[in-house]
Amino acid sequence: MRPGLFTAIAAFISLSAAPSVAAQYIFTTVDFAGADFGTFLYGLNDAGAAVGTAQFKDGSQGNRSFVYESGAFSTVDIPGSSPSATVAYSLNNDGYTAGGYQDFPSTGVRGFIETGSGFQSVDVPGANPTEVHRVNNLGDAVGSYTAPGSIARSFLLSGGTLSYIDVPWDSDYTDAWDINDGGDIVGSYGVDGVSHGFLLSGGAFTMIDVPGALRTSVMGINNAGAIAGHYTSATGVHGFVFENGVYTTIDHPLADSLTFVMDINNDGSLVGFFNTAGGYSEYTHGFIADVGVPEPATWALLLVGFGLGGASLRQRRRAASI
């Protein structure tokens, strides 16, 4: 007798690898009180603490950078700079921040790295602005800078030595955004105004483009090599995770059309921001997405697959014994 449909499906499952379950996320919305121009989260450490910026319509307040941990906000203020002119992008496992600030009374924008002894300024010679985007748990930093009359370029600051990062392809700019503890660096570069992602690992560059995307921006990489960022399609901006050769789209369940994923920690949790009503500014909210358990429907499908696979194996054993 010819095998029926369920027998054929069972045989396929039993010959394949064990069914994989796509990660489900538990989303937490983060809004800084009174930030009527939006809350933006940029970095996430392994303890689940996030760093970001609140933006206000009142020009006197401008930006207020903060660390968000256990439901509480603490502001990041650089001595000698107005709090409204500080943007913090990075938060490592020691709780130290990094980013950029305006050095009053000058108009220069300088990078900064927080250490146990205070805030250290970071300046690429001759550049304005200089911004630090991420610092790993070993103290290595990546960021971007612009020299007069030049395109935006990127740098690596490691052990007090400054070196420069440029993709080997023709590009409008290179924007390094993250470095993991293994020294792998990710970021984006532009070609004719279109952004593409890159990975720099072991001295070799690899292009990263979400299949079918109009633009791809790579923002984070964890120690396991999982990469996160966002891409643009005809339907808006969507977050993504790229791991083990597979791209997974991330959309906040409340997002109208924009979900920006900005970082991924070593637990696979994500951080970013999303919009809720067709706009970008006053409708923007921060979020943390923690990896959760699969939804009941996914578990049900998985159990059916295992059951079919087991039934197929039992049928094969019976047939072999006849």
Sheet containing 259-264: which strands, arranged edge to edge? Answer: 24-30, 284-292, 270-275, 259-264
Phi-psi region of 300 (alpha: psi -120 to 50; beta: other; left: phi over 0): alpha
Which run of H or E residues covers position 313?
A: helix 296-321
Domain range for residue 312?
21-321
Flag whether 215 is in a domain: yes
Whether residue 264 lies inside any domain: the answer is: yes
* Residue at 160 is within a domain: yes
Q: Does residue 301 lie within any of the structural domains?
A: yes
CATH of the domain at 77: 2.120.10.30
Residues in CB range of 3: below 8 A, 6 or more apart: 11
Number of domains, the chain: 1
Distance CA 124, CA 102 (A): 15
Is 82 part of a structural domain of the chain?
yes
Cβ atoms of 135 and 111 within 8 Å: the answer is no
Distances (CA, A) of 185 to 154, 234, 239: 11, 29, 19
pLDDT in tens, the chain (322 residues): 333 322 222 222 222 222 233 458 999 999 999 888 899 999 999 999 999 999 887 765 678 999 999 999 999 988 877 767 899 999 999 999 999 998 776 668 899 999 989 999 999 999 999 999 999 999 999 999 998 777 889 999 999 999 999 999 999 999 999 999 999 999 999 999 999 999 999 999 999 999 999 999 999 999 999 999 999 999 999 999 999 999 999 999 999 889 999 999 999 999 999 998 755 545 799 999 999 865 554 444 444 444 444 444 344 434 444 4
3-class SS at 109?
strand
Q: Which two tokens stand for residue 230?
A: 């966002």
Edge-to-edge strand order for the sheet containing 130-135?
130-135, 141-146, 152-158, 161-165
pLDDT at 59: 60
3-class secondary-structure state, position 319: helix
Task: Please report, as a single letter, which amino acid is at residue 163.
Answer: S
**pLDDT for 37:** 83
Residue 93 domain-assigned (yes or no): yes
**Spatial CA neighbour of 124 closest among 97, 154, 96:** 154
Tokens of 295: 């939804």
pLDDT at position 296 is 53
Q: Is residue 265 domain-resident? A: yes
C-alpha–C-alpha distance, residues 100 and 298, integer Å: 43
- How many C-beta atoms surround the C-beta of residue 254 within 10 A? 14
Do residues 264 and 255 touch, judged by C-beta distance below 8 A? no
Do the domain assignments include residue 231? Answer: yes
